[in-house]
Amino acid sequence: MAAEHAAVVANQGAFGVPTLVLREDQKSGIFGPVIDKVPEGEEAGDLWDHVKSLAGQQSFYELKRSRPTPPHH
C-alpha cells in the first residue's frame, strides 16, 4: 500500500484519499468521491458512471457542497 501511494503521488500528483486514476496517461488523480453512505446495487453503478463521466472531462476540477446534516456513522 505505501508503495502504491508513493507512486500515485509521484505520477499523478495525488493529494488525498481516495484518489482515482482511470487511465494510464492521466496526468492527475481525481480525489473522491467523498460520500457518507455507501450505495449498493444499481445506485452504486449509477454513482460510478457519473463519477467516471465527470473525471473524463479534461476541464473538470472540483464539485463540492456543504453538509446539511452530520455524516452517518
- Residue 73, in any domain of the structure: no
Residue 71 lies in a domain: no
Please state the domain count of the chain. 1
pLDDT computed for residue 57 by the predictor:
84
In a domain, 66, yes or no: no
Instruction: Tell me which residue has cell 502504491.
Output: 4
Question: Where in the sequence is the domain holding 18, given as residue range(s)?
Answer: 2-55
Domain assignment present for residue 44? The answer is yes
Q: For residue 40, tell me if it sits in a domain.
A: yes
Q: What is the DSSP letter of 15?
A: -
Inside any domain, residue 65: no
User: Could you check whether the bond before residue 68 is cis, i.e. omega within 30 degrees of 0?
Assistant: no
64 found inside a domain: no
How confident is the model over 26-72, as pLDDT tens digits?
A: 666 777 788 888 999 999 999 999 998 988 888 888 888 887 777 76
Q: Is residue 16 part of a domain?
A: yes
Question: What pTM was estimated for this model as a whole?
Answer: 0.65
Q: Cα–Cα distance between 30 and 8 in angstroms, integer?
A: 11
